[in-house]
């Protein structure tokens, strides 16, 4: 796999929970169970957090007991059961912080297993497919974590014409897939062009179509809904205003939230999400973001690790920890209950394919790439993205095996929002 990750970046996240409690030198250095370090998250915040952790560790040792053959503390188990039993809008962020940082392999296994069980109960034991077409790598924004940022003059840009997109859509249809995700940078493509494209896709078949094209006016969103768009993905990345400002240029979280609110009121099935482990993010931020997902009752939530891109201001930052990302997927499942959660491509682009682990932790969506083979390598939000050299749609051939490895049925149908239409329902 790609050699872009800092040495130890992945194991930092895995090592703690699997091995047990951090030792004294790790505490002094600022390494926490989730693999975040003082250097990455700010000394003041982490100093507080590590003190709390030390106290919690002592209590944990005193109270640890065996739960079905696994070592699980009463506090962890109580937090897990509270979150499971509580509607997403009312969960306590303190419980989410506890669950995001299991102290033992037993707690990790229990968390992810219970999340997978909730997925099975709420959404069925299946892995659904969404065909992804990245139709433009042009972007006028300068998000500090993204390789497509406008300031990256070395990025190769492309804009597909409508016929190229429709060709990808026909390929997906040939593979039996009934959901199309149209994604692009914020390239300011005209609203009418996108509306025409939506009509063209709907003329091919009864697809569910998801747009992921960033912040636009309410009028544009309304036009696209009218033209046939069913769903919209807009990751918030963080709901904390200061943290949001620190990773974006000339953008505010208020605008982001306004867009999400517009989309909801226009009747879209709405998706959001976050990166895990970007500079400045703490466990507390992540817990609050997951609580926000519960309050907003999103239909879809994407969670992937931050992966540093060499052409961005965050080029020297460490990648987000895989283990924390998987825990975030599991905790999100327990909070939102019946949303669609992708096993993100970013999780499949690390030192190995962690999408299976995400599926075993409550995720239930995979997005095979149907961007034309000639262009998909250029859609480089982060480096080392998987499967960019295969033919258009070749990913779909691996999906049966991925689902089987996770013990799930493969579902190529529309898989509309369970929240809006129930299990097996259709928009
Ligand atoms: S994250 Fe999206 S909006 Fe931001 S620079 Fe990348 S493509 Fe553009």
pLDDT digits (tens, 9 = 90+) for 344-378: 989 988 888 999 999 999 999 999 999 999 998 89
pLDDT band at 413 (very low <50, low <70, confident <90, very high): very high
Ligand 1 site-directed mutation target among 134, 145, 149, most atoms within 8 Å of CB: 149
Specify which residues 127 forms β-bridges with. Answer: 410
Q: What predicted TM-score, i.e. pTM, was given to this entire model?
A: 0.84
- Which of 81, 102, 122 corresponds to the end of one domain? 122
The pLDDT > 90 percentage for the chain reads: 74
Residues 284 and 348 in one domain: yes
- For residues 60-64, average pLDDT: 46
What is the average per-residue pLDDT within 283-295?
A: 98
In this structure, the answer to whether residues 297 and 379 fall within a common structural domain is: yes
Per-chain mean pLDDT for the chain: 85
Q: What is the distance in A from the centroid of ligand 1 to the CA of 370?
A: 20
Total structural domains in the chain?
A: 2
Answer yes or no: do 198 and 118 share one domain.
no
Whole-number Å distance between alpha carbons of 327 and 358: 9
Q: What CA–CA distance (Å, rounded) separates 337 from 282?
A: 24
pLDDT of 267 strictly over 80: yes
Separation of alpha carbons 198 and 191, rounded Å: 11
Between 186 and 68, the higher pLDDT residue: 186
Which pair of structure tokens corresponds to residue 359?
Answer: 């599926």
On whether both 96 and 134 belong to a single domain, the answer is no
Is 50 within a domain?
yes
Please check whether residue 176 lies inside any domain of the structure.
Answer: yes
| Residues 181 and 368: beta-carbon distance below 8 Å | no
One domain, residues 309 and 385: yes
Residue to substitute in 139, 272, 312 for testing ligand 1 pocket (most ligand atoms within 8 angstroms of CB) = 139
Same domain, 381 and 409: yes
Q: For 144-166, write each residue's pLDDT tens digit.
A: 999 999 999 999 999 999 999 99
152 and 77 in a common domain: no
Mean pLDDT of 69-97: 94
Residue ranges of alpha helices (H) inside 175-252 are: 191-204, 218-227, 241-247
Whether 235 contacts 191, CB under 8 Å? no
Q: Which of 160-174, 260-274, 338-352 has the lowest mean pLDDT?
A: 338-352
Please, what is the end-to-end C-alpha distance for the chain in angstroms? 40
> In this structure, is residue 51 part of a structural domain?
yes
The string of pLDDT tens digits covering residues 220-247 is 999 999 999 999 999 999 999 999 999 9
From 75, 93, 122, the end of a domain falls on 122
Q: Kindly state whether residues 41 and 134 are assigned to the same domain.
A: no
Least confidently predicted of 56-60, 63-67, 79-83: 56-60
**Which contiguous run of DSSP H or E holds residue 187?**
none
Q: Among 9-13, 54-58, 143-147, which is the least confidently predicted range? A: 9-13
Q: Which ligand 1 atom sits closest to the C-alpha of 137?
A: 7
49/146: higher pLDDT:
146
Cβ 214 under 6 angstroms from ligand 1: yes
- Any alpha helices (H) in 130-186, and if so which ranges? 162-174
Q: Tell me, what's the pLDDT at 319?
A: 95
Task: Say yes or no: CB of residue 185 within 6 Å of ligand 1.
Answer: yes
Please indicate, yes or no, whether residues 310 and 246 belong to a single structural domain of this protein: yes
Residue 2 within a domain: no
Beta carbons within 8 Å of 298's beta carbon, 6+ residues apart: 270, 271, 272, 336, 339
pLDDT of residue 68: 53
Q: How many A from CA of 381 to the centre of ligand 1? A: 8
pLDDT, position 65: 54
CB 73 within 8 A of CB 107: yes
Angle at 215 between CA 209 and CA 220, to 5 degrees: 65
| Cβ of 141 below 6 Å from ligand 1 | yes
Q: Of the candidates 101, 122, 143, which is a domain's last residue? A: 122
| Better-scored residue on pLDDT, 399 or 69 | 399
- Are 225 and 178 in a shared domain? yes
Q: Which atom of ligand 1 is nearest to the CA of 185?
A: 7
Query: What is residue 148's three-state secondary structure?
Result: coil
pLDDT at residue 25 tops 50:
no
- For residues 13 and 110, membership in a common domain is answered with yes
The reply to whether ligand 1 has any atom less than 6 angstroms from the CB of 187 is: no
Any ligand 1 atom below 6 A from CB of 148: yes
Sheet with 300-305: list strands edge to edge.
Answer: 131-136, 179-184, 208-212, 231-233, 269-276, 300-305
Average pLDDT over residues 26-42: 31
Structural domain boundaries, residue 79: 9-122
| E strand spans, 29-79 | 65-67, 70-72
d(CA 167, ligand 1 centre) in Å: 25
What values do phi and psi take at 210, rounded to 5?
-110, 130
Same-domain check for residues 113 and 65:
yes
């Amino acid at each position: 796999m790609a050699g872009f990750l800092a040495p130890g970046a992945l194991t930092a996240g895995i090592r703690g929970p699997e091995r047990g409690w951090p030792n004294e030198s790790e505490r002094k250095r600022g390494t926490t169970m989730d693999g975040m370090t003082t250097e990455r998250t700010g000394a003041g915040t982490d100093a507080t957090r590590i003190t709390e952790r030390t106290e919690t560790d002592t209590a944990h040792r005193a109270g640890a007991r065996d739960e079905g053959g696994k070592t699980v503390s009463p506090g962890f188990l109580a937090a897990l059961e509270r979150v499971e039993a509580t509607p997403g809008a009312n969960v306590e962020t303190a419980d989410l912080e506890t669950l995001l940082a299991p102290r033992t392999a037993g707690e990790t296994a229990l968390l992810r297993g219970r999340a997978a069980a909730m997925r099975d109960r709420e959404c069925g034991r299946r892995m659904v497919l969404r065909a992804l077409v990245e139709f433009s790598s042009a972007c006028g924004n300068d998000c500090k974590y993204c390789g497509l940022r406008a300031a990256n003059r070395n990025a190769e840009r492309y804009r597909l014409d409508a016929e190229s997109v429709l060709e990808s859509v026909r390929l997906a249809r040939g593979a039996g897939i009934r959901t199309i995700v149209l994604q692009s940078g914020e390239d300011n493509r005209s609203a009418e062009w996108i509306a025409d494209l939506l009509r063209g896709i709907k003329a091919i078949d009864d697809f569910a179509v998801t747009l992921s094209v960033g912040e636009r006016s309410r009028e544009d969103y309304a036009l696209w809904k009218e033209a046939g768009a069913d769903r919209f993905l807009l990751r918030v990345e963080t709901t904390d205003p200061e943290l949001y400002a620190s990773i974006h240029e000339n953008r505010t979280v208020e605008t982001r939230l306004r867009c999400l609110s517009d989309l909801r009121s226009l009747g879209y099935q709405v998706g959001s999400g976050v990166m895990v482990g970007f500079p400045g993010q703490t466990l507390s931020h992540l817990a609050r973001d997951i609580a926000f997902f519960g309050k907003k009752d999103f239909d879809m939530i994407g969670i992937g690790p931050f992966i540093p891109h060499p052409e961005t201001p965050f080029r020297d930052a460490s990648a987000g920890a895989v283990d924390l990302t998987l825990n975030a997927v599991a905790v999100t499942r327990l909070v939102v209950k019946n949303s669609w959660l992708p096993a993100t491509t970013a999780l499949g682009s690390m030192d190995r394919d962690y999408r299976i682990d995400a599926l075993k932790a409550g995720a239930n969506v995979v997005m095979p790439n149907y961007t034309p083979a000639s262009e998909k390598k250029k859609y480089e939000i982060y480096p080392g993205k998987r499967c960019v050299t295969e033919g258009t749609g070749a990913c779909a051939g691996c999906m049966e095996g991925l689902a089987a490895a996770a013990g799930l049925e493969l579902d190529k149908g529309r898989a509309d929002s369970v929240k809006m239409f129930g299990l097996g329902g259709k928009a």
